[in-house]
């Protein structure tokens, strides 16, 4: 590999006079080159990014790897996302003026480094020719913020604490089980000695408002002209957002090029294609994908004009779990989807996996309701799922839920054994008819693949805060004892339930610490409350209140 020229700590001026630090890798041949920009809060002087810069330079690209505002060698004050649109745009424009640049810029990176791509793209620079956001959100309120009104405590506390200060902060010595239980939730970061302005702001904005709108792609689609190659994982906290970003770009992107965006979704957590094992499942060698190779093809097409066929391929590449195979698709949801309603059943005792809860396409008769008590001081613990970014603290991916399902506050609705394979690929939704004796509470749902040996592997899950049942922009308390219809978004999945397996839906009222605990008091802001009460919950499945899950079933060829 040819060794590039390296320029260290180059100061890039922003519109407000703040200088941001960048390390620049130039190809051995000194002719102007297309440029790949990576903007990170995690330090640009890491082995991984140095190797990335050298690799790109060896392929004929200039690579600019920049510390974002207020982090590491860059000046200014760090506040998540707030300055990334202007700073990213200003950096793209600066690159286009450099003698070593052709004026064409692409962007790369994952997680927050994906956010810096989307936000820069909002400004519509003609020099930003393409982006490759990996595991990036669509609407910062929905994820990682408030998922249907419930605060994503685990990721925001751990990730937020790591980015406290100018450099990386060690959080591994903390007793997180204790910290997560701090009340009010507003004091969680203070419990480990961090004074985070953005944490306070997040807690004090539980509704979708102007604060969150400025952190959202959802009001920017028409301004984005750079096509995006979206990369995500079924078990990432941005799995749904990855599809939202792709779908909106295909429909509403601000240029013909933007509407040629792509997506790949593998059986991965937040760290994409690093291992064939996610959670407790080995998805096989074919589950690994050369994402860097496809990223380079994307850059070669949009930045160098190489006709390598990448935009002629199916725009969706999906790994279907269970059958463990890749498949190209053209739309989402899939046009051939058979939307099936599977209803909850019981004789009034669906509590735990040893209960009598059933799941089938047959509509319920007038069956007795199921009841349980939800105690915020004894919440259902998180075990796997779409978590980030500390799997040793809050595990991610598919895990056997049998121990969780032994609890009396977890209702289990389980199908008969399937007589043939059944593919479920698409967005998942539970419609729950339920009542509480409190004025606010939470409802959770989880889709589980039950194997013949009894292992109950989680696939996807969701939560809704009762007061946010009508959407994220408004809230209203519930009347104790009144039945409401709650739509719980379980996000997305691509899975074949094999013959002999069973489909299970779990219903409860907590998933902690992935989400904060609803304290059931009806306080104006749950994150500022330190009082709690036990909620007595009732789940209905009758002719008039047919609780169910909607499964996107893909017919066999």
Could you list the active site residues?
A: 111, 236, 270
Q: What does DSSP say about strands 150-151 and 277-278: parallel, antiparallel, or unpaired? A: unpaired
Q: Name residue 128's beta-bridge partners.
A: 105
| Contacts for 301 with CB less than 8 Å, ≥ 6 apart | 307, 308, 310, 311
Q: Are 364 and 238 in contact (CB under 8 A)?
A: no
* Look-up of token digits 């956010």: 115
Integer Cα distance of 520 and 8 in angstroms? 54
Terminal CA-CA length for the chain: 46
Phi-psi group of 247: left, alpha or beta (phi > 0 → left; psi -120 to 50 → alpha; rest → beta) = alpha
Q: Are 297 and 264 in contact (CB under 8 A)?
A: no
Q: What is the dihedral of CA 481, 487, 492, 498, to 10 degrees?
A: 60
CB atoms within 10 A of CB 480: 14
- Cβ-count burial of 355 within 10 angstroms (0-12 exposed, 13-18 middle, 19+ buried)? buried
Q: Are 350 and 356 in contact (CB under 8 A)?
A: yes
Q: What is the dihedral of CA 252, 254, 256, 261, to 10 degrees?
A: -60
Integer Cα distance of 325 and 322 in angstroms? 8
| Contacts for 352 with CB less than 8 Å, ≥ 6 apart | 405, 406, 407, 408, 410, 412
Integer Cα distance of 229 and 543 in angstroms? 45
* Collapsed DSSP state (helix, strand, coil) of residue 170: coil
């Amino acid at each position: 590999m040819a060794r590039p020229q390296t320029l260290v700590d180059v100061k890039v001026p922003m519109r407000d006079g703040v200088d941001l630090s960048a390390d620049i890798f130039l190809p051995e041949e000194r002719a102007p080159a297309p440029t790949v920009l990576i903007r990170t809060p995690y330090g640009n002087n890491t082995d991984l990014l140095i190797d990335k810069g050298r690799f790109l330079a060896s392929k004929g690209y200039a690579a600019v790897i920049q510390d974002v505002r207020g982090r590491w060698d860059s000046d200014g004050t760090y506040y998540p996302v707030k300055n990334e649109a202007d700073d990213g745009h200003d950096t793209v424009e600066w690159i286009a003026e450099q003698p070593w640049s052709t004026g064409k810029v692409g962007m790369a990176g994952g997680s927050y480094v994906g956010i810096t791509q989307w936000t820069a793209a909002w400004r519509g620079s003609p020099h930003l020719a393409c982006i490759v956001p990996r595991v990036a959100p669509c609407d910062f309120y929905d994820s990682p913020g408030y998922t249907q009104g419930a605060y994503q405590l685990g990721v925001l506390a751990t990730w937020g604490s790591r980015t406290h200060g100018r450099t990386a902060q060690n959080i591994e010595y903390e007793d997180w089980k204790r910290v997560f239980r701090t009340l009010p939730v507003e004091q969680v970061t203070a419990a480990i000695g961090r004074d985070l302005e953005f944490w306070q702001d997040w807690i004090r904005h539980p509704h979708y408002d102007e604060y969150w709108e400025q952190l959202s792609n959802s009001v920017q689609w028409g301004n984005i002209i750079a096509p995006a190659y979206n990369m995500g994982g079924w078990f990432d906290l941005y799995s749904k957002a990855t599809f939202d970003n792709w779908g909106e770009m295909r429909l509403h992107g601000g240029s013909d090029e933007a509407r040629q965006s792509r997506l790949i979704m593998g059986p991965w957590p937040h760290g994409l294609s690093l291992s064939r094992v996610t959670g407790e499942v080995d998805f096989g060698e074919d589950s690994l994908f050369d994402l860097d190779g496809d990223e380079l093809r994307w850059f070669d097409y949009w930045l160098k004009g190489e006709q390598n066929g990448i935009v002629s391929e199916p725009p969706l590449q999906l790994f279907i779990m269970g059958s463990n195979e890749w498949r190209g698709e053209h739309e989402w949801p899939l046009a051939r989807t058979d939307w099936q309603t599977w209803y909850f059943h019981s004789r009034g005792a669906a509590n735990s996996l040893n209960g009598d809860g059933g799941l089938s396409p047959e509509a319920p008769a007038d069956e007795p309701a199921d009841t349980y008590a939800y105690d915020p001081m004894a919440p259902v613990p998180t075990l796997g799922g779409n978590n980030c970014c500390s799997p040793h603290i809050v595990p991610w991916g598919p895990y056997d839920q049998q121990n969780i399902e032994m609890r009396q506050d977890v209702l289990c609705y389980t199908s008969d054994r399937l007589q043939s394979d059944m593919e479920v690929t698409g967005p998942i939704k539970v419609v729950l008819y339920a009542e509480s004796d409190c004025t606010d509470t939470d409802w959770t749902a989880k889709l589980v693949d039950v194997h013949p040996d009894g292992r109950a592997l989680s696939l996807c899950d969701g939560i809704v805060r009762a007061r946010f049942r009508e959407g994220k922009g408004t809230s209203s308390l519930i009347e104790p004892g009144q039945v409401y219809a709650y739509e719980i978004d379980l996000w997305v999945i691509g899975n074949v339930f094999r013959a002999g397996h069973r489909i299970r839906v779990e219903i409860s009222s907590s998933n902690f610490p992935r989400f904060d605990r609803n304290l059931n008091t009806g306080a104006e802001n749950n994150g500022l409350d330190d009082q709690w009460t036990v909620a007595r919950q009732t789940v209905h499945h009758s002719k008039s209140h047919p609780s169910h899950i909607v499964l996107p079933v893909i017919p066999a060829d």
